[in-house]
Every structure is written in structure tokens, then in C-alpha cells.
Structure 1
Amino acid sequence: MSLDKLKNRDVSVDDYINIFEDNYPKTSWGQFKQVVKRSFRGELFKGLGIVLNIMREALFKGEMQTVQYPAEKLPIGPRYRAVHKLLALLESGENRCIGCGLCEKICIANCIRMDTKIDENSRKEVLEYSINMGRCIFCGYCAEVCPELAIVHGGRYENASEQRAHFALKEDLLTPIDKLLEQKEYPGFGAVSPDADEKIKKTPLSY
């Protein structure tokens, strides 16, 4: 293609086809007949048949097509990135988070804040861990980079609020102590895959 043809933006002459439809009704009676003709075609009764069939299944067979939210909720995928969840250790009940700060460093939305100190057991203790849900874009980088699988994306996706101060803090994300025995290894985003042990290649030690 030459440069002149490339610069020529007037393509209406060759590529466009003008269609002139002159059979519009001219009188009011013609317009009425056109409406009646278009309304009572087979497509109208076909659509009504589909609606009546769905109503019959809902009324007499109990096959409802709607979900009674919030009493009923649709299932979400195991890799869905919803509100974060901090897991705890089943043995001691302590938080799995070791305070490495990788999630805070990799967060591209700059919404994670962490404050740590060294406790009496020479273990780094997390004093404050907060996630600003108003800024979080739920990319999942924090769950991917966590070496202890402490932070994962849970299944709670209802995080709407009228106040900015109501967005999640550490206490809202931690697993409660009384429900620690019910905690299971979360299969969601950021968790280890079920066949992780088979994928790991065993290497011999040098000693």
C-alpha cells in the first residue's frame, strides 16, 4: 500500500454500501398495521413459551432460578481472590506470620502496613498488621510471596462499608482462638497445591 492510500481516510466510496429502505408506512393506519404485524409474529409466542415454562418449573417443581441472597450464596472457585485471611499455627495457636515484611514490600497498591518487635523468645512478633481494603486491588502478590503461608485469600467477599475506618485490621483477619481447632489448610489462592510433595525434587545432602 502506498503512502497516499495509507493517509487517505475517505473509505466511504469503496467499502461502504448505502442501503435505502423506502417501505416505511406513510399513514397512521400503516404504522398500526406494522406494529401489529411485528408484535404477533412467532417470536413473541416463542418467548412467552419460554417464560411460562420457567414459571411452571418454579411453581410446581421447585426449580427456582434465583438465589435467595444473603441466605443462599453462589459457590466461588477455590482460587478466588477475596478478603485476606491470616492463618495460625495449630500446635501453639500463634500467628504463622514471622514478620518478614515481604507482603508489605511487594504490595503494588501500597496498602499493607506492618509493625514488629523482638519478643522474649527471640522471635519477631507482629504488633500491628493492617490492610487497607479501600486501596487493595486483590492482586494476590502478598499470598504468593509469603514463605510461611500465613496470609491467604479467604472466601469472604462482602467487604462493603460506609466508613473508611471500617475496613479490615489484623484482628478481623486472624483466626479466632476458639475456632483454631476447626482451621484447615486453606486450599485457596496462595496455598500449597495438593500435589506439592510430588512436584518437589529430592536432592541428596552433601553430608
Structure 2
Amino acid sequence: MGLDKLKDRNISMGEYINVLEDEYPKTGWEEFKQIVKRSVKGELFVGLKIVWNMMTGALFKGEMHTVQYPAEKLPIGPRYRAVHKLLALLESGENRCIGCGLCEKICISNCIRMETKIDENSRKEVMEYSINLGRCIFCGYCAEVCPELAIVHAGRYENASEQRAHFVLKEDLLTPLDKLKEQKEYPGFGAVSPDADEKIKKTPLSY
């Protein structure tokens, strides 16, 4: 192909064939017949049958598939990474967090802040612990790296608020002391697996 033919943008116009599905209507009656022919087909009644079966099943057979939120909530998977929760020790009521700061260091969104001090028992005590849920991407690294299983992802996923200050409250993450007996080991992201005891191997002593 020469340069002149390459520059000709209409070189392939003669190769096209116009294919019409049917003749265009010329009168109003022909337009009406075309509309009826294209709209009233078997597929329309098949769709209406499906809708009718779903409607009668929901109204008369108790087959309602709609969840009445917030009165009803769908169950979430145990590996779902929802809003964090800080667990406490059932024996003493102390917070499990030892203030190692690993969660603060590994946080890739830089949303965890921790302040610690040494108490009278020479134990590191966590004074302030906050998670900015407005910045958190819920990656789960903090729960994975925690050596004491103090922080896990619990099942609360409604964290909408009108103010940003509501996203950093420590009291919402900690287990209240009056409800400590009701605390359950949440089998969520970062929690110990059910067969963890079976996977533990005894370390051989050197003596």
C-alpha cells in the first residue's frame, strides 16, 4: 500500500455492507405493530412468572429474603476484620496488653497511639491506647503481631459517627470491668486457633 492510499481515510468505505434487520416502518400502524412484536414476547412472561413466584413466596409462604436491619443482622465470618477490641485477663481483670508497642510499630496507616509507664509492681502499664478508625484500613497486622492476644478484630462493624473524635475512644475497645465475666474469647482475626494446644511443641532442655 502506497503512502497516498494510507492517507486516504475513506479507502475501505466501499467494503462495508449495510445490513438491516427489517424494514423501517413507514406508517403509524406499522410502528405500532413493530412495538408490539418486539415487546410482547415469551421472555416477558417468563420474567413475570419469576417475579410472581418470589412475591407469593415472600407474602404467603414465609420465604422473605430481606433482612430487617438493624433489628436483624447477618452473621459475619470469624476471619472478618471488623472494629478492634482489647481483651482483659479473666483472673485479675488486668488488661492483657503489656505495652510492647509492636502494634504501634507495625501499623502501616500510622493510626495507633500508645502511652505507657512503669507501675509500682515494676510492670509496664498502658496509660493511653487509641486507634484512629478514620485512618485505619483494617489490615489486621496489629492483631497478628500481638504476643498476648490482647487486641483482636471483634464483630462490631458499625463505626459511623458524626465527629472524628468518636473514632479514637479507648473505652469503646476495652472490656468493661463490670462485664468482665461475660467476656468470651472471640474466634476472630488474630485470636488463637482451636487446635493451638495440639500444635505446641515442647522445647528440649539444654541440661
TM-score normalised per structure 1: 0.87
Q: Percent identity?
A: 84
Amino acid across the alignment from 1:140:
G
Report deviation, 1:24.
Answer: 5.8
Q: How does 1:1-207 map to 2 (within 5 A)?
A: 20-22=18-20, 23=22, 25-27=24-26, 28-207=28-207
Report deviation, 1:58.
Answer: 1.0
Tell me the SS of whatever aligns to 1:203: coil
Q: How many angstroms apart in 2 are the aligned matches of 1:114 and 1:30?
A: 78
Greater C-alpha radius of gyration: 2
Report deviation, 1:198.
Answer: 1.6
Change (3 A) 1:19 1:70: farther
Report deviation, 1:19.
Answer: 7.7
Runs of 4+ in 1 over 6 A off after TM superposition: none
Report deviation, 1:33.
Answer: 2.5
Q: How many angstroms apart in 2 are the aligned matches of 1:80 and 1:45?
A: 42
Report deviation, 1:30.
Answer: 3.6
Change (3 A) 1:53 1:90: same
- Specify every segment of 5 or more residues in structure 1 that has no aligned partner in the other structure, as ranges: 1-12
- Specify every segment of 5 or more residues in structure 2 that has no aligned partner in the other structure, as ranges: 1-11
Amino acid across the alignment from 1:80:
Y
Change (3 A) 1:53 1:118: same
Change (3 A) 1:31 1:165: farther
Question: Residues 61-117 of structure 1: CA distance to partner in whole angstroms, max 9, x if unpaired?
Answer: 111110000000011000000000000000011110000000000000000000000
Q: How many angstroms apart in 1 are the aligned matches of 2:117 and 2:181?
A: 27
